[in-house]
Amino acid sequence: MKNTRWKYLIIILLAIPIVSYIGKTVGEYMAIQQNEQERNYNSQKNLSDGVKAYVAIQDAGAVTEQQMDMNFLKNLELYTAERIKTNINKSLESKGMSVKNLNIQSESVYVESNGKRFAVIRCKGPDKLISVLVLGFAGNEVKRVMCLSETSDTIPISYGVCGEKIKEVFGVSMGQ
């Protein structure tokens, strides 16, 4: 029992900086878009190609993808959504704007491709801003691909900008 607890602790400790980074990036991105909208700017000027992809990599320590269970996935999803909300509000405050009661909707699932397991977390924020996070292991590294868009459509992970970045980072295509 104790052996299992320390493994979950390591997984959680690894997830905190990962999700903090992702939440900060998504939060700042969404706050910038909201700020531009409130100033009556055309937010399309900043996102001419629609989807932006970002990558973060860190050492996995002793954690492996086999230790990712449904409890871990749900906790990662909740933490990701909360960090996004917190970072949007921090960014708005730093610009002298009023903090809003934001509703961040999220969903998560595990996806398997070519024998590898990936956590996929999708979030929807205000003003049609959406994100998708794909987290997986490659050797001794935890890798994350985060894609952002301000369309009302979902961000595909099997093709397009996000799908290409996932293939580049993980060496696999989703949905194949």
Is 123 strand, coil or helix? Answer: strand
Residue 45 has pLDDT above 50, yes or no: no
pTM for this predicted structure: 0.70
Decide if 35 contacts 92 (C-beta within 8 A).
yes
88 vs 41 pLDDT, higher one: 88
Minimum mean pLDDT range among 6-10, 27-31, 75-79, 113-117:
6-10
